[in-house]
Amino acid sequence: MSEATWELVETGFDIRTAKAWEGLFTLGSGYLHTRGSLEEHLLDDPQNTSFLRMPANVTAEKARPNQLKWGTFVPGLFGPHPTLNNEMVNLPWFLDLTPSVAGEKLDMQASATTGYRRRLDLRTAVLQRDLTWKTKSGAVLTLCFERFISAARPSLSVQRLTLLADRNTAVDIRAGIDADIRTSGLDHLTSQSFRSERPDTVACTVTTNGGDTVDMAALLTGVPTAHVTCGAREGRISGTIHLTAGKPLVVEKRSTVATSRDLIPRPPLTVLRDAASLTFEALQAEHAALWRERWERSDVVIEGDDRTQLALRASLYHLLRCHVPGDDRVTIDAKGYAGDAYFGRFFWDTEMYLLPFYLYTDPERARTFCDFRIRTLDGARANARRYGYRGARYGWESDTWGIDGCPNWQYGDHEVHVTADVVYGMVHYARAAAPDYLKTRAAETIVETARYWLDRIDRRPDGSPVLLGVMGPNEYTPISSNNAYTNTLVSFALRTAAEVGPQGGASPDECRLFREVADGLPIPRRGELVLQCDGFDQLAEPRFDELWKDRTTGFANQVSQERLYRTKCLKQADTLMLMALFPAMFSDAECRAAWDYYLPLTTHDSSLSVGMHALMALRLGLDKEAWAFFQQGLYKDVDVAHGGAAEGIHIAGCGCNWMIVVHGFAGLKTALDSDTLNLQPRLPSALQRIAFPMIWKGIPIQVDLSRHQCAVTNRGQTALLLDINGRSATVAPGQVYTHVLSS
Amino acid sequence: MSEATWELVETGFDIRTAKAWEGLFTLGSGYLHTRGSLEEHLLDDPQNTSFLRMPANVTAEKARPNQLKWGTFVPGLFGPHPTLNNEMVNLPWFLDLTPSVAGEKLDMQASATTGYRRRLDLRTAVLQRDLTWKTKSGAVLTLCFERFISAARPSLSVQRLTLLADRNTAVDIRAGIDADIRTSGLDHLTSQSFRSERPDTVACTVTTNGGDTVDMAALLTGVPTAHVTCGAREGRISGTIHLTAGKPLVVEKRSTVATSRDLIPRPPLTVLRDAASLTFEALQAEHAALWRERWERSDVVIEGDDRTQLALRASLYHLLRCHVPGDDRVTIDAKGYAGDAYFGRFFWDTEMYLLPFYLYTDPERARTFCDFRIRTLDGARANARRYGYRGARYGWESDTWGIDGCPNWQYGDHEVHVTADVVYGMVHYARAAAPDYLKTRAAETIVETARYWLDRIDRRPDGSPVLLGVMGPNEYTPISSNNAYTNTLVSFALRTAAEVGPQGGASPDECRLFREVADGLPIPRRGELVLQCDGFDQLAEPRFDELWKDRTTGFANQVSQERLYRTKCLKQADTLMLMALFPAMFSDAECRAAWDYYLPLTTHDSSLSVGMHALMALRLGLDKEAWAFFQQGLYKDVDVAHGGAAEGIHIAGCGCNWMIVVHGFAGLKTALDSDTLNLQPRLPSALQRIAFPMIWKGIPIQVDLSRHQCAVTNRGQTALLLDINGRSATVAPGQVYTHVLSS
């Protein structure tokens, strides 16, 4: 297997792409995440600039012009912001490990360096940076930085710096913790105290304006003269090492984080002490072993296109990195804990784009997504009450308590489909992994969302239900009526509520009402065309040729929001997404009509758009288009030249990339659409093979698709029923079933 | 003439209504305005609390819970606010004139007082407060505070305090200037410096974050021991007077304000020096003389209902107070310079509700409103450019530069009718007072607005124009298409542009296009019913009975904005207002259909709603309803029990009150609808007489309407053509024409 498909490599330092690499190189254990910042940072790029970040149209918001952007995140650790509501707090930065020679600090912009190379080994989740530094003093140093966040000890960051000089050289080493940081321009820290624990160890305790306490400690080894200096907002361990020409020396920094909301208490000094007897190699080994297990459960092998393979692995790496095991107080925020642009909050992405990957590779983890919604039911009830409704209303941007933090009313007030998406996710989970889930744990939640819908839905004079004043997934139509996507999802959720009503505390009358409204909600149509919403075809023509001159950046960046809002332009697939989610509900002709009508209107300003188009193209037999859309979405994060992951990972896009390969190319019907494993493979012509493990209704299997055959291995204990291109079979445990594909 | 119809009287101090009286008792010279705050303020009501005021739905925003609210305003003096854009700056407070006895400061909550009475003499614009104070020391003091802002010296505030004690008593007097104030929670002052000019005079210079400099000086006389103390943000003159039992003593405070944007420089010390030889009585006499002139030009006499007379005079008083003579850099802000709730900005109120009063009583002043729009043409062009349009787009909330400061995008982006309202105002002004205005001074501006419309208007596939994505005057339908009000006003403006195009720099092709679009913009209808906008009848039923339990407060306070936005509820007259503005365009049947359809849907959450209903009711012969609506709007400011003018004067409502009497009860057709003076009187049954002066196309006249006759006096130099109830006549200069009314 080629290393080239397992390594993301930055081959030279370029300040224009540095922030994108910083996001892409984010490391994490689920519990703790740090962006791939340079250990010595930059000379002139302050991370403590205060500003008032205002609620803005997230599509067109301009990021602050920092060259790099630190990010240290513990999922779910939120604090209030005066204009943005609760947001995830960017914690003190502990990666600092800075060499200086004769007063010259290493700096990627000011110093003379050669041979710069950074690589993230996706298999082991270790980041390594190599470079040669010609210091002003004349000495030439070869430096190798390595680091990882331990999968085995999720609060522990391990760093190693190997130094080699061409002559005897004294090198000053600084290893600090910097608490002078901001989140969205705000200082969330209400107190900071630094202390020296030992000459080689600095510790700090900070409190946040969300009432949390965060403890950190950092230990520097390999520097005999180490001593600690504590400032008001910074603590550092410093010392000098003396390199002998040609003899490498190694220094190590280990940092740990603990917070007052940890499920498992891990006091920083205890964590450091417990690891004290273990070498870097030993710690790396236990870490890598866990990552190996993850990949075995999840890797998708692509043969025929190494670039595709690598980009897909990058997506899978971030999906594996950022799920928080065993913690249903959070799901995955919209930037994959690799940036705070979306406030660390939880969107519909959870159910619609992230759930499938976990559901079919690690259903236990998928369950925490659904449990999160149940845990935050009271928050959802509070959201509903705030609008004067009964029941539960899930927030467009949930914080850890389920309270909607969305500071822009057009989304927060009107993008109500998320409450139905939550139920869709629960049903998906239940069908794939835990049939009892709906009627037991989830029933009350589902009924509560249905009660919200009954209050939210209006009636025409003839009594027929209508859902007015909503924003569908296409956020460029802000307030519309009978959005086809929303109405369908709401009907689905209401039907589910009618089914689980008795267990969820709904009266028979309520259940009847749920069903009646579910059946009555209209889908606007004009002939074969499903309309996005009532009157969509009365909106203005988008006039892209005239108004969208620069296609390298989004339409929303080139016209006013006011124009977007009156125009027939789509930010992302809306009706098409509906058809992708409910394939059996729409005929091929309807899908085709929608494709022909909406595609020319679609800007794909949302990174989530192209993936759904890839899936729909496959449905329509448009393999070439499907491949093109797949490729368009696949490189979003790794395309550093166009910003990539600068503001965070497009984690929902990562999930969508997996969905295209598994549900699209391998043609796996979801558990919502099929009780048996059902594959309708369409291997792209660019590829020779796709192979991946998954779990189908509790049975671990391996799918191996090549041009001429599709093989399914039953690795479980029970017989597997399957259907490949309409041919049914039963595969006994341990058996491989091979279906020969007609070409 | 009864004093009761010229005096607003507060007969006792009640903290629950104190803020409303404070707003209602605002004094002003046009140049300078101060709210009717207590001279000694309150013990515990800090005016320097910083907070971050966020953009909010102005209808439902809750004011800060201050008990009183200082306000010192120089129109047009704006400074930037981080969340709200440029806002009028609340200037240092100079009214302080506080007596203390033996360490006990007078305080309306803590002190033992009786006989409290405040009265604003509307005729002279003098505020007087009387009370008796039983001090803790045992002395009983009778106090009389008087004050006015000089109409003759518009930067001068004159205060007098007359004290009388029942025994010999030493009274400490404090007279200060307090620069520790906020506007919308923000400290706009970037520097303050206080200095002592003489023992009895304190001066200060402050700079604002808008780059303006403000100089103030205060002089205290009658206190021989006066001395000045200067702090960082406050300066005060203090001293002690010794009252002899039964012998009144008088102290006076005179304060002046000058700013770096004054058209006429009036250095504070010079102003004080120039007035030094004049007694309080002399200053008051020259002030009252000017107010007498104003009233002669504008008073509306109402006989038969003193309560109505007084409330109407209160409206006229504030209209007379708050117009800024000879300054076209401002118009009148939405709170009549009696509060900063609406940021001191200029709305469509200028043209639609304020212009008529000035236009028909003091056309020279009215002209500054139109000139303001021409002066701010570059700001309007910048607004248009910001959206990617050519031409000029007037801001929903203009600052003094014409830049739209509206911080809520739904209004700022979508309530575009203001740009057409501006042209409507210009045409109204021209027809009534200066026929050449349109083709000379205004032509370029009008053409520029038309160019904006051409870019803003979309076309259907058949080429017909449509105006999509707008908010009409009914702000509860946020983004709609073909709003009848907006489309009609835009057509009116485009037709005007086609007429003045050649003078305004428009090509013949442009003029043809203006006319074509004007003719093509649709008015949505369903049979005889003019629809507010496309699809209005598809919105949700408002269900007022169920959702609007407390009718003492607005519907918007009891439901979410989200519900408002999908509901067939009206904040204010929208289609009805259109019909009131263009009476000849709609048949009685159409008006009646609109009335019957919209009235049950209308919340009147806007204070501007009921006035338009009064006018429409008269059109429909619904005299009883008209009177009820008139009464509902008339007391808005004087109704202190319901908040009244606490946050400022509803100055557009004041203008509307005048419009109802003159255009409604006296039935004056506007100059837009009639070339001759045309009256169709409908004297309300509650009244015996209405009489008012006005100027009709340059001819000063007097209208005197009683139950049995309508008399018109021509006070001008040329013959007056008139039409009363269809009967035409010519009235020679100096003649009275009397039309006998059939009852």
pLDDT in tens, A154-171: 999 999 999 999 999 999
Is the domain of A519 the same as that of A548? no
Beta bridge partners of A570: A602
Is the domain of A515 the same as that of A557? no
| Any A CB within 8 A of B387 CB | yes
Q: What average pLDDT does range B336-365 have in this prediction? A: 96
**Residue B426 is inside which H or E element, if any?**
helix B417-433
| Any A CB within 8 A of B565 CB | yes
Question: Which CATH number does the domain housing residue A265 bear?
Answer: 2.70.98.40
Closest CA of chain A from B645, distance in Å = 29
| Any B CB within 8 A of A483 CB | no
Is the domain of A111 the same as that of A240? yes
Tell me the pLDDT tens digit for each residue of A200-257.
Answer: 999 999 999 999 999 999 999 999 999 999 999 999 999 999 999 999 999 999 999 9
Does residue B705 fall inside a structural domain? yes
Task: Kindly tell me the burial class for residue A527, based on how many C-beta atoms sit within 10 Å of its own C-beta (0-12, 13-18, 19 or more).
Answer: exposed
**Cα B89 to Cα A66, B27, B71, B479, distances in angstroms:** 33, 17, 9, 32
Closest CA of chain B from A479, distance in Å = 8
| Contacting residues of B for A562, CB less than 8 Å apart | 387, 409, 413-414, 469
Q: Which residue of A has its CA nearest to B562?
A: A413
**Residue B321 is inside which H or E element, if any?**
helix B306-322
| Any B CB within 8 A of A524 CB | no
Contact B538 A539 (CB under 8 A): no
**Cα B36 to Cα A146, B45, B51, distances in angstroms:** 70, 15, 24
Mutate to test the interface with A, among B477, B563, B564, B569 (most CBs of A within 10 A): B563
- Inform me whether the pLDDT recorded for A538 exceeds 90: yes
Mutate to test the interface with B, among A409, A562, A569 (most CBs of B within 10 A): A562
Question: Is A298 in a helix, a strand, or coil?
Answer: helix
* Mean confidence (pLDDT) of chain A: 96
Does residue B656 fall inside a structural domain? no
- Structural domain span for residue A724: 689-740
Q: Binning pLDDT at 50, 70 and 90, where does residue B324 land?
A: confident
Contact A83 B540 (CB under 8 A): no
Is the domain of A250 the same as that of A105? yes
CA B645 to chain centre: 11
| Any A CB within 8 A of B52 CB | yes
CB contact set of B104 (below 8 Å; sequence gap of 6+): B111, B135, B136, B137
Q: Which of A472, A496, A523 is the last residue of a domain?
A: A523
Does residue B339 fall inside a structural domain? no
* Mean confidence (pLDDT) of chain B: 96
Residue with tokens 């212009």, as numbered in its chain: B355
Tell me which residue in B54, B459, B547 faces A83 most closely, judged by beta carbons: B54
| Contacting residues of A for B535, CB less than 8 Å apart | 534-535
**Cα B137 to Cα B116, B162, B171, B244, B246, distances in angstroms:** 20, 20, 11, 15, 17
pLDDT confidence of residue B231: 96
pLDDT confidence of residue A544: 97
| Contacting residues of B for A566, CB less than 8 Å apart | 458, 468-469, 479, 481
Does residue A407 fall inside a structural domain? yes
- Inform me whether the pLDDT recorded for A58 exceeds 60: no
- Which tokens hold the place of A638? 């790794």
Contact B562 A535 (CB under 8 A): no
Strand arrangement, sheet containing A126-134: A7-10, A112-121, A126-134, A140-149, A156-165, A249-259, A213-221, A201-208, A189-198
| Any B CB within 8 A of A468 CB | yes
Is the domain of A19 the same as that of A43? yes
The number of beta carbons lying within 10 Å of the beta carbon of residue A625 is 17
pLDDT confidence of residue A48: 94
Tell me the pLDDT tens digit for each residue of A461-488.
Answer: 999 999 999 999 999 999 999 999 999 9
Nearest to B262 by CA among B274, B271, B250: B271
Does residue B256 fall inside a structural domain? yes
Is the domain of B517 the same as that of B538? no
Tell me which residue in A82, A541, A562 faces B52 most closely, judged by beta carbons: A82
pLDDT confidence of residue A129: 98
pLDDT confidence of residue B712: 98
pLDDT confidence of residue B60: 59
Amino acid in the structure at residue B409: W
Closest CA of chain B from A414, distance in Å = 7
State the total domains in chain A: 4
Beta bridge partners of B205: B193, B215
Nearest to B528 by CA among B602, B579, B472: B579
| Any A CB within 8 A of B51 CB | no
- Provide ipTM, 2 decimals: 0.93
Tell me the pLDDT tens digit for each residue of A214-223.
Answer: 999 999 999 9
Is the domain of A495 the same as that of A574? no
- Inform me whether the pLDDT recorded for A743 exceeds 90: no
Contact indicator for A40, A105 with CB cutoff of 8 Å: yes
| Any B CB within 8 A of A61 CB | no
Is the domain of A29 the same as that of A170? yes
- Inform me whether the pLDDT recorded for B432 exceeds 50: yes
pTM: 0.95
The number of beta carbons lying within 10 Å of the beta carbon of residue B686 is 15
Q: Which of A271, A297, A323 is the last residue of a domain?
A: A297
| Contacting residues of A for B52, CB less than 8 Å apart | 52, 82-83
CB contact set of A331 (below 8 Å; sequence gap of 6+): A346, A350, A354, A368, A369, A372
Pairing of β B720-724 and β B677-679: parallel
Q: DSSP readout, B653-698?
A: HHHHHHHIIIIIIS-BPPTTT-SSEEE-----TT-SEEEEEEEETT
- Inform me whether the pLDDT recorded for B1 exceeds 50: no
Is the domain of B498 the same as that of B545? no
**Cα A721 to Cα A668, A705, B345, B474, distances in angstroms:** 13, 18, 71, 61
Distance of alpha carbon A491 from alpha carbon B383, whole angstroms: 43
| Any B CB within 8 A of A305 CB | no
Contact A562 B468 (CB under 8 A): no
Is the domain of B215 the same as that of B256? yes
Contact A566 B535 (CB under 8 A): no
Question: Which CATH number does the domain housing residue B503 bear?
Answer: 1.50.10.10
Amino acid in the structure at residue B219: L
Is the domain of A466 the same as that of A548? no
Q: Which residue of A has its CA nearest to B540?
A: A458
Does residue A331 fall inside a structural domain? no
Does residue B368 fall inside a structural domain? yes
CA A41 to chain centre: 25
| Contacting residues of A for B83, CB less than 8 Å apart | 52, 54, 83
Q: Binning pLDDT at 50, 70 and 90, where does residue B59 land?
A: low
CB contact set of B293 (below 8 Å; sequence gap of 6+): none
Query: Quick one: CA torsion of B473, B478, B480, B485, rounded to 10 degrees?
Result: 0
Does residue A182 fall inside a structural domain? yes
Angle at A645 between CA A643 and CA A649, to 5 degrees: 150
Contact B469 A561 (CB under 8 A): no
Angle at B440 between CA B435 and CA B445, to 5 degrees: 110
| Any B CB within 8 A of A395 CB | no
Nearest to A14 by CA among A132, A153, A113: A113
Tell me which residue in B409, B458, B539 faces A540 most closely, judged by beta carbons: B458
**Cα B439 to Cα B374, B496, B499, distances in angstroms:** 13, 10, 8
Q: What average pLDDT does range A37-41 have in this prediction? A: 98
Q: A434 or A66: which carries more pLDDT confidence?
A: A434
Is the domain of B478 the same as that of B566? no
| Contacting residues of A for B478, CB less than 8 Å apart | 479
Q: Which of A263, A281, A297 is the last residue of a domain?
A: A297
Distance of alpha carbon A356 from alpha carbon A668, whole angstroms: 11
pLDDT confidence of residue A273: 97
Q: Binning pLDDT at 50, 70 and 90, where does residue A1 land?
A: very low
